[in-house]
Amino acid sequence: MSILSHADLPHAKLNGAQLQHNNLSHSNLHCANLRGTNLSYADLRETDLSYADLTDANLTGADLSYADLHCAKMRGCNTNNAIFHFTIT
């Protein structure tokens, strides 16, 4: 498990990365490529995921409270038990 909170990673290419159980809260992942990334049980609270590509990503149990998902691509994304409290879409 890594703590990447407050990371500034716009346009990052993290497709296929294993980021489960990581703390990415308050991070900037605007326009990031997260296709097929494992973000299960990750802390994504208040993270900017606007315009990010989350196609086929695993968000099982992830906390996306207050996250910005405006225009994010989420086709085929697994969101079982994910938390979306006050998430921007």
The pLDDT tens digits of the residues spanning 30-84 come to 999 999 999 999 999 999 999 999 999 999 999 999 999 999 999 999 999 999 9
Domain count, the chain: 1
Answer whether 32's CB lies under 8 Å from 15's CB.
Answer: no
Give the separation between CA 89 and CA 23, rounded to whole angstroms.
21
Q: What is the pLDDT of residue 89?
A: 73
Rounded alpha-carbon distances, angstroms, from residue 42 to 50, 74: 17, 16
- In this structure, is residue 88 part of a structural domain? no
The 10s digit of each residue's pLDDT in 9-36 is 999 999 999 999 999 999 999 999 999 9
Domain that holds residue 15: 1-39
- In this structure, is residue 7 part of a structural domain? yes
Give the separation between CA 57 and CA 68, rounded to whole angstroms.
16
- In this structure, is residue 83 part of a structural domain? no
pTM, rounded to two decimals: 0.93
- In this structure, is residue 86 part of a structural domain? no
